[in-house]
Amino acid sequence: MPSQDRHERYPADALKRFCEECFVKAGLLPSHARMVAEHLITANLRGVDSHGVIRIPYYLEGLERGYVKPRSEIRVLRDAALSALLDGGDLPGVIVAAEATNLAIRKAKSSRVSLVGARRLGHVGMLAYYTRRIAAEGFMGFACANCPQGCSMGRG
């Protein structure tokens, strides 16, 4: 009996290469394009398709319209032993959130606890991506994000 699955399937590595190429052509640094592609593919492989490769057009549109910048700098606005606040420079959120996660892990390794926030960044994707990285380092983690005014995410 034929499969009722209406979706075509592609090897994860091939899809990841396609994602990377899309984002490099949109102006992201190759390392950043790779990071976003890895994030999207991980979401799909975990079954979180709403935050997987279906987001490619949304992310590309954001870059095209200037909502996010393909290249910018992440700056530390505030830095303390247990906490920090980053300015994402309007970069894609996956890039900024990954840096915030790395910083939170480094701080927690020194103090056993940390809190890192970020502003001026695009959509961060699947939040479990960051908490799984934190857990892999032996820490408990909490990740949250806001959404633009008027969005209906989280409303019943």
pLDDT of residue 2: 54
The model's pTM is 0.89
In this predicted model, what pLDDT tens digit does every residue of 46-99 receive, in sequence order? 999 999 999 999 999 999 999 999 999 999 999 999 999 999 999 999 999 999
In this predicted model, what pLDDT tens digit does every residue of 4-31 receive, in sequence order? 666 778 899 999 999 999 999 999 999 9
At residue 18, what is the residue type? F
pLDDT of residue 154: 43
Q: Based on the number of CB atoms within 10 Å of its own CB, is 65 exposed (0-12), middle (13-18) or buried (19 or more)?
A: exposed
At residue 6, the 3 state secondary structure works out as coil
The CATH class for the domain spanning 12-136 reads: mainly alpha
Kindly tell me the number of DSSP H helices and DSSP E strands found in the chain.
5, 3
Nearest to 42 by CA among 123, 130, 103, 118: 130
